[in-house]
Amino acid sequence: MIRAFILYYLNMKPTHGYEIQKFLQISGTEQWAKIQSGSIYYALTKLEKEKYIQVLREERTGSRVRKIYTITDNGKTELHKEMAQELDKPISTIGSIKFFTDPMLSTLSKDEIIKIVSNHINKLMEQKEFWERWYAVKVDETTLALSRISFEMTIQNIDSQILWHQELLEHLDIYIKNSKDTEQIIKSFDFDWMEEGTTGAGDEEKLQYALKLKNEILKDPQNAVANLDKIIKELQNHVKKG
């Protein structure tokens, strides 16, 4: 999923790994996907070798040289393919990365989403019927509790997945709109001023930027708001000290 997200982000605008890392932290995606900063740069290097992205230019920040990446035409095709694959994957774990796919829905057309999700619901329905048949055969008054609970958990998990996908289809227009809102946030997102050791006379402006960014985020996990609050408090402290 990290590959798809990087391609998605670079499809919005050219940028560097540091910005992608900061956005993942603030949006809460880092928590869901357990993404480490090193995996972002590894994925960027691999995507560049595969010619899905390319270096647009290099910028020097102090003693460091920062690569600005942009997506290629092949990368746009790969993004479309990977998003379709992600949407067809089961939600199998707590904190599944699929919980973050709705902001990325604009990558696919509405008709494609409906087709993929409808087919996936049908697969889930078939799985549910299979496990319900086995439950009826295997579980009776002599069945040990752990076996019974295991069957019930499996069926409940499938039910929850069906509900998730049905909700997506039922309110698809709303989620597509939210996806487009997220695109606008990414296009205006800039954390160059958050580099370590860059505090000073511009801190008041940085504080206002962070406050504005928080207000612009229309849909965000609780983690995202909490992380933004921390950033704002840090900047407030720098402003007071200044």
Q: What is the pLDDT of residues 131-164, one digit of tens each?
A: 999 999 999 999 999 999 999 999 999 999 999 9
Looking at the structure, do residues 203 and 155 belong to the same domain, yes or no? Answer: no
Query: How far is it, in rounded angstroms, from Cα 27 to Cα 111?
Result: 27
Number of domains in the chain: 2
Confidence class for position 186, pLDDT limits 50, 70, 90: confident
Tell me which residue range forms the domain holding 208. Answer: 191-242
Residue length of the chain: 242
Q: For position 11, what pLDDT does the model report?
A: 94
Backbone angles phi, psi at 17, to 5 degrees: -65, -30
- Residue 2 belongs to a domain: no
pLDDT by residue (tens digit) across 191-230? 665 554 444 445 555 555 555 555 555 445 445 555 555 5
Looking at the structure, do residues 153 and 207 belong to the same domain, yes or no? Answer: no
Query: How far is it, in rounded angstroms, from Cα 68 to Cα 205?
Result: 25
Of 116, 146, 175, the last residue of a domain is 175
- Residue 197 belongs to a domain: yes
Looking at the structure, do residues 171 and 116 belong to the same domain, yes or no? Answer: yes
pLDDT by residue (tens digit) across 94-139? 667 677 777 788 889 999 999 999 999 999 999 999 999 999 999 9
Residue with tokens 């995507």: 47
Tell me the H-state helices in 53-171. Answer: 73-87, 110-138, 145-170
Looking at the structure, do residues 170 and 196 belong to the same domain, yes or no? Answer: no
Tell me the H-state helices in 171-216. Answer: 172-188, 203-216
Looking at the structure, do residues 159 and 124 belong to the same domain, yes or no? Answer: yes
Looking at the structure, do residues 165 and 217 belong to the same domain, yes or no? Answer: no
- Residue 210 belongs to a domain: yes
Q: For position 231, what pLDDT does the model report?
A: 58
- Residue 198 belongs to a domain: yes
Looking at the structure, do residues 145 and 195 belong to the same domain, yes or no? Answer: no
Closest Cα partner for 27 from 226, 232, 230?
226
